[in-house]
Amino acid sequence: MPHMQPNHRLTRWIAATVCIGAVLGVALPDLARSQQASGTPYTLGVTYPLSGPFGAWGQLLVPAIEIAADHVNQAGGVNGHPLKLVVEDSKGNPEGAISAMRKVVQVDQVPAILTIFTNVVSAQIPLTMQFKVPIISPVEAPGLVARSSWAFAHSPLLTSTLPLLAEHWKNTKIKRLFAFFPNTPIAKFASPTTKAEAEKLGITYEEALFKLGDTDFRGLIARAKSFNPHAILIYGHGTPDEGVIMKQIRELGMNTPMFNACACVTVKSYRESAGKAAVGVVFSGFKYDRQAAKKLTDAYRAKLGFDPDYASLEVYDMVFMIAEAIKKYGYTGEGIRKGLAEVKDFRSIGGGLVGMDKDGQSVVPVALYRLTDVTKPDFVEIKP
């Protein structure tokens, strides 16, 4: 290969610089324009994954957030101002999380953000304090939002949903319990919590951690099978993987009753992958009163063609919490933070009353359900 001539090389560098300049020239005026546009509507940021392996979450939950904003606006908005959402793709990873957050805060000037996922929230927490912009999400990781007074979570924790199941196990005389958790930080607290609860009831306990993203879990389930449990608990992030586990438990010839401690079986992908195997599953989770949620359910069904899951109720609530915070303390980051920290006796779309604890973690009503139809989905509240 011949040697490159110096002037040739110079031309290339000039070409490179010109190209970069051209791109920045196109991008910059756009930035400036969008900064001016924030006028009378009250804008909120939404940083959800919309593409990649976690894209389904954004595709399912952002519509519920949009419906909530519509409902606020139909009721006259917030102090006469309509709510407007700026939705950005967080891609479900830290780089996307921070890019999206910086964009909605520094370009669109939003004073509060709705977000999701443990790793996204972890990445955004340091910025919340720096920007003085609160974030609220449905993550279920204890201690995560306690790290910052600007981070909030609206979700039931395992410590509140597990006792309902334990009560049920006690009444049905379960003696051997096998639990499946994903090998993510969620297992770090789920495992000891469940173990302690089992010990309290004199239940023999065994567990296995599965890897998110695998497609076949039968090797792992064979381990559960050799343990010969009376009950199986599946608790995780609500990914379709957990639905596959439910199905494959049945496909290994086990008829053991299955339990879920986060209402994840109501999630569309979860239900699809579990199929009929999920019928009869007993789950405890966020209170989901079908009558109370009708307003959301109808709008959601019209938009997507099926019923919303429990997380849609949570994100719907969040928009109303923020709206009330603005009414109380004004349309600023500090005001919204103050308002969210003081949430008390808030009427959830799921029917219960919600309060916020000192860590910024909501205390939510929970209930026990049995899934009766997996496609619709349909479920009935049961007594433990």
Partner 1 sequence: MDHIFFLGTLMCVWVMVCLAANFVIGYTGMMAMGQAVYLGVGAYASATLNIYLGVNYFAAMALAAVVTGAVAVLTLLPLLRLSGFYFALATLGLNFVFFDLFHNLGPRVEGSEGLYGLELPAALGSPHAQIVTGLLITIACVLAANRLVGGAFGRALRATRDRPDALIALGKNPVHYQIVIWGVSGALTGLAGALYAATLFYIDPTLFTLNASILVLVYVGVGGLASNAGSVLGAVLLIAFTESFRYLGLPSVLAGPIQQGLYGALLVGLMLFRRQGLVGNHDFQE
Partner 2 sequence: MMSALQVLAIGFGLAGYYALVAVGFALIFATLRIFHIAHGTVFLMAGYVFFFLYRVGGLDVVSSGVLSVIVAALTGLAIDKAVYLPVMRRGGGLFSVFIASLGVALIFEAVFLVFTKGIVTVARTTALGIVSVGPVAFRLLDIFILGVVIVVYGLLYLWLHCTRRGLEVRGLTDNRALAAVVGMNVDQTRNVIFLLASALAGIAGVLTAYDTGLAPDTGSRTLFIAVVAVILGGVQNILLGSIVGSVSLGILTAYAGFFFPEWVTFSVFAMMIILILIRPRGLFG
Footprint on this chain of partner 2 (rule: CB under 8 A): 51, 53-56, 59-60, 183, 208-211, 213-220, 222-223, 225-226, 240, 243-244, 247, 250-253, 268-269, 272-273, 275-277, 375
Q: Which stretch binds partner 1 (CB under 8 A): 184-192, 234-242, 285-293, 362-370?
A: 184-192
- In sequence order, what DSSP letters do the residues of 301-325 get, joined into one string? HHHHSS---HHHHHHHHHHHHHHHH
Nearer to partner 2 among residue 152 and residue 217 (C-beta): 217
Minimum Å distance from CB 244 to partner 2? 6
Q: Is 311 in the site for partner 1 (CB under 8 A)?
A: no
Q: List the end-to-end C-alpha distance of the chain, in Å, as a whole number.
A: 78
Minimum Å distance from CB 377 to partner 2? 14
Footprint of partner 1 on 244-273 (CB under 8 A) = none
Task: State how far the Cα of 60 lies from the Cα of 343, in Å rounded to an integer.
Answer: 26
- Whether the Cβ atoms of residue 55 and residue 49 lie closer than 8 Å to each other: yes
- Whether the Cβ atoms of residue 66 and residue 85 lie closer than 8 Å to each other: yes
Minimum Å distance from CB 378 to partner 2? 16
Tell which one of 61, 67, 88, 262 touches partner 1 (CB under 8 A): 88
- Which residues are paired to 114 by β-bridges? 46, 136
**Residue 7 carries which DSSP code?**
H
Amino acid at 316: Y
Q: What are phi and psi of 262, to 5 degrees?
A: -150, 15
Residue 144 in 3-state DSSP?
Answer: coil
Q: Is 82 in the site for partner 1 (CB under 8 A)?
A: no
Q: Is 56 in the site for partner 1 (CB under 8 A)?
A: no
Q: Which residue, among 200, 164, 169, has the nearest Cα to 365 in the 3D structure?
A: 164
Q: Is 382 in the site for partner 1 (CB under 8 A)?
A: no
Q: Is 126 in the site for partner 1 (CB under 8 A)?
A: yes
Task: State how far the Cα of 220 lies from the Cα of 223, in Å rounded to an integer.
Answer: 5
Nearer to partner 2 among residue 294 and residue 301 (C-beta): 301
Q: 223 Cβ partners below 8 Å, 6+ apart?
A: 208
Partner touching 216 among partner 2, partner 1, none, CB below 5 to 8 Å by kind: partner 2
Tell which one of 109, 118, 160, 193 touches partner 1 (CB under 8 A): 118
Task: State how far the Cα of 226 lies from the Cα of 205, in Å rounded to an integer.
Answer: 13
Amino acid at 100: A
Nearer to partner 1 among residue 32 and residue 291 (C-beta): 32
| Residue 63: cis peptide before it, omega within 30 degrees of 0 | no
Partner touching 329 among partner 1, partner 2, none, CB below 5 to 8 Å by kind: none
- In sequence order, what DSSP letters do the residues of 80-94 get, joined into one string? TBPEEEEEEE-TTSH
Q: Is 191 in the site for partner 1 (CB under 8 A)?
A: no
Nearer to partner 2 among residue 232 and residue 244 (C-beta): 244
Q: Is 95 in the site for partner 1 (CB under 8 A)?
A: yes
Q: Is 67 in the site for partner 1 (CB under 8 A)?
A: no
Nearer to partner 1 among residue 155 and residue 348 (C-beta): 155
Tell which one of 38, 41, 70, 107 touches partner 1 (CB under 8 A): 107
Task: State how far the Cα of 291 lies from the Cα of 341, in Å rounded to an integer.
Answer: 28
Q: How far is CA 219 from CA 222, 224, 321, in A?
A: 5, 9, 44
Q: Which stretch binds partner 1 (CB under 8 A): 135-143, 239-247, 288-296, 326-334?
A: 135-143
Q: Is 183 in the site for partner 1 (CB under 8 A)?
A: yes
Q: Where are the alpha helices (DSSP H) in 37-117?
A: 55-74, 94-102
Partner touching 30 among partner 2, partner 1, none, CB below 5 to 8 Å by kind: partner 1
Hunting for tokens 């069904």 — which residue is that? 301
Minimum Å distance from CB 109 to partner 1? 11
CB atoms closer than 10 angstroms to residue 107 = 17
Q: Which residues bind partner 1 (CB under 8 A)?
A: 1, 3-4, 9, 12-13, 15-16, 19-20, 23-24, 26-28, 30-31, 34, 46, 50-52, 55, 58-59, 62, 87-89, 91-95, 98-100, 102-103, 106-107, 118-119, 121-123, 125-127, 141-144, 183-185, 188-189
